[in-house]
Structure 1
Amino acid sequence: MHESSEQRVKVSERIPSAKAKELFYDIRRKQEIAKNDLLTASGLTTSTLTRVLDELVSIGVISESGLGTSTGGRRPILYQVRADYGYAFGLDISRFESRLILLDLAGQIIESVEWQMGAETTPDQLLGQVVSQANIWIAGHQIPFAKIIGMGIGAVGPLDRATGIIEETEWFPAPGWQNVEIVRLLEEQLNIPILLDNGANTAIIAEAWANRAKDFRHMLYVHGGTGLRLSMMSDSKPIYGAADMEGSFGQMIIQADGIPYRTTKGNYGSLDSYASVYAIEREVNSRLRTGRSSQLQQMLQPGERAKFSHIMQALKLLDPMVTEVVTQAATYFGIGLANLLNILYPEKVVLGGPLMTDSNLFFYTATQTAIRKTYHYPKYQVVFSKGSYGEEAIAVGAALLMLNQLT
């Protein structure tokens, strides 16, 4: 990408008027919408609505898509988003794996690629892959530079959204993942607008988009992986605290005099120490050392520690010891989840990450535990889901984070 920063159009200025932004927001939330429905929803006069729609058509963000069903008069004109108006990249930076996707304006995934995060995956190495892949996709799909709206990043925190810096992250397999000026580095190489948020926030943006027809106003998203990551949405907007709160759920105290946290920064008896990938690996390896019988002993070399992938393989074989450990971890997770439900009362809770996607046992044990311990049950009903995008949720939400800047 060779165009200068002066040639870039600010995302927020692509749709210039406030009325046009509001109308585009309404159209974008539907696959197709009739002019009569827009007239009712917007409260605009017919002449104003026609003028603003013409403005959006001339910009190229929407198009007329045909005629709807008549309710007595003339058949109404239908409008839809022009998917090829623009494209956004979504980058998920996580500890196990990272992912880049390309999304069009209609929210359809055009391309997706995943990288395993190994001991060699430093920031420079990953960003080199990201830049190379982005340029390959742009060339392959012959996308003009003007149609690249930007890139959103959903990353492991803590991070500073305003400065675009990934701060004191932990447990990456490669060195160098502290105080990474990720936004500056990618903007310099790609010369497109970049936005940074934590991965849990971008995932909940993706899930809200997938559920936009149901209009859930209050949602929770919890990512169960190496650590536990949380985001919240109220009135259909992500909630941001005074500090990056992605890791706050993992620091919920379950037993005040319980297991020490894995570093000096965390709480004794925190949920993360009982219900994360780290906690399951620690407990399984402890039991193996004490001589507990398990099919894992046939999978491992002498002295080798069981990793999460081994544990999930043994779980599929219904290994009793592994099943016991995973069930225990899921029960603790469910207790922590019930604490959240009893405070926040969301309408929907989406559970993502390796703990959920790799194990039905964990998901169902955790959710049933949470339901049993939720105050006002069964009067209060909550919908649990593994989500609509699976492991692509963080990356899809990151791209949507950028596309949402249009309105």
Structure 2
Amino acid sequence: METPHAKLNAKRMLYQHIADQGIVSKAGLLSAFTIATSTMNRLLDELVSEGRIRESGLGSSTGGRKPILYEINPDYGFTIGLEISRFYSSLGLFDMQMNAKSFVRWRMDEDMTPERFVQHTARQINALLKDHGLSRQAVIGIGIGAVGPLDRSSGIILHPLHFRASGWSNVPICRMIQEACGIPACLDNGANTALIGEHWALRRDKVQHMLYVHAGVSLRSAMMSHGRIIHGSVDMEGSIGQMIIQTDGPRLQEHGNYGALEAFVSVLALEKQAQADAKLKGDTFGSAYRAQPDRIRYDALLRELELGNPGVLELFLRAARHLGIGLANLINVFHPETIILGGTLIGSHERFYQTAIEVALRSTYYYPEYTPVFSKGSLKEDAVATGAALAARERFTFAG
């Protein structure tokens, strides 16, 4: 006899398959699952009666009756994706077919403590729901993609670095969001949810093995194999930054490995190198930044890069070459089909992006017989929140 747990799992798998395919026939479902026709009919009828899926017209006939097509019901509920990052955060409202209804974004300044962040998020959610005439009960869940390290199962942000505001250690963010909004929440690394979002955007291409690398204030990465995120026994998001690429090389701060990738490729690394160059080369070099050497910041580097400062361009290209080495190391271990690159460094200059790829490919062991596809992604700055909303859809559609 089929147990309630087994039946729920079967319905969940059917629902996820229909969601991934968009529109599917019963014959397509029967070919994808080892389920008897009578059982499939019963499960589909239940999913329709529950409002989770709906009939979507008739397919083409192959000689008999035209098949009924099914799709998930976009109005069954809504999900919210929330990104928590160091520079800015964003919030997206989606229907069940992942059509974005609204997006809002705000800066993470010195006053954005966890408590104020949660209050601000709750106000933004209330405003979105009011704009769309929705009740809180219409939202099945909130997915959160946050800077790590974190404890996913407990919903806690642990000890992230470089937040401008204080208090971002041991933050029970899921509990705080749920108490403030009255909506259940789940947590994952922002790199993971970004990859989930970009994989969904490429779902028609059926890509199974993907790598995501974010180069910004720090380096963050995520991997996907056979369409599923790889979760290690410990939080891995920032591990790429600790990859040693130069024996006895510099250390970024008072933590981490010497000669680690983050000491060459990160906003902080670029700032430190620019400050050192300004001190070494004197006022003629440092005056371009309109600041004393110790006060040179990334915004000034971007301004000079846009103005065509050759010294600053070389600073960025040097970092790009180091990033290419790090990417090659990951490629040679994992052999992904597609590599998504994101973050402020990737978007800083087209030559940064192209240089990192060129160096990575030159150091890829099986190249050119094996050539992965590089991309800046389809969703770009919306990837983290979109993937978080997808994670919430998977987590909460059949919850309770």
Tell me the residue number matched to 2:125: 134
Corresponding residue for 1:363?
A: 353
- 2:25 aligned partner: 34
Alpha carbons of 1:333 and 1:293: their partners in 2 closer, same or farther (altered >3 Å)? farther
Contact conserved, 1:357 with 1:390, CA < 8 A, in 2? no
Q: Does 1:395 pair with 2:385?
A: yes
Aligned to 1:272: 262
Residue in structure 2 matching 1:224, options 198, 215, 228: 215
Please say if 1:64 is aligned against 2:58: no
CA RMSD of aligned residues (A): 2.1
Indicate the SS of the match to 1:245.
coil
Question: Which of these residues, 304, 307, 322, is aligned with residue 314 of structure 1?
Answer: 304
Is 1:102 aligned to residue 97 of structure 2?
Answer: no
Q: 1:341 to 1:126 in 2, by over 3 A?
A: same
1:188 aligns with one of 176, 179, 182 = 179
Which TM-score applies when normalising by structure 2? 0.93
> 1:354 is paired with a residue of what secondary structure?
coil
1:327 pairs with 2:304: no
- Tell me what 2:272 maps to: 282
Partner of 2:226: 235
Q: Counterpart in 2 of 1:342?
A: 332
Partner of 1:75: 66
1:210 aligns with 2:204: no
One-letter amino acid matched to 1:259: P
Tell me: CA distance 1:34–1:291, structure 2 relative to 1, closer, same or farther (3 Å).
same
- The CA distance in 2 between the partners of 1:206 and 1:125, in whole Å, is 27
Alpha-carbon displacement from aligned partner over 1:23-43 (angstroms, at most 9, x marks no partner): 211110122222332232234
Question: Which runs of no fewer than 5 residues in structure 2 stay unpaired?
Answer: none
CA contact (8 A) 2:276 2:293 kept: no
Are the counterparts in 2 of residues 15 and 21 from structure 1 also a CA contact under 8 Å? no
Runs of 4+ in 1 over 4 A off after TM superposition: 13-16, 292-296, 301-304
Q: Quote the offset at 1:180 in angstroms.
A: 1.0
Query: 2:28 corresponds to which letter in structure 1?
Result: D
- More deviation, 234-243/224-233: 234-243
Distance in 1 (CA, whole Å) between partners of 2:282 and 2:19 is 56
Query: What is the TM-score normalised by the length of structure 1?
Result: 0.91
CA distance in 2, matches of 1:30, 1:292: 60
Q: Which moved more, 1:350-359 or 1:87-96?
A: 350-359
Instruction: Tell me what 1:260 maps to.
Output: 251
> Structure 1 residues 168, 324: closer, same or farther in 2, change over 3 A?
same
Distance 1:183 1:21 in 2: 23
Aligned to 1:9: none
1:379 matched to which residue of 2?
369
Secondary structure at the counterpart of residue 330 of structure 1: helix
Give the number of equivalent residue pairs: 394
Letter paired with 1:311: L
Which runs of 5 or more structure 1 residues have no equivalent in the other structure?
1-12
The alignment partner of 1:356 has SS state of coil
Residue 197 of structure 2 contacts residue 383 of structure 2 at CA under 8 Å; is this kept in 1?
Answer: yes
Alpha carbons 1:217, 1:347 under 8 Å: kept: yes
Quote the residue 2:191 is aligned against. 200
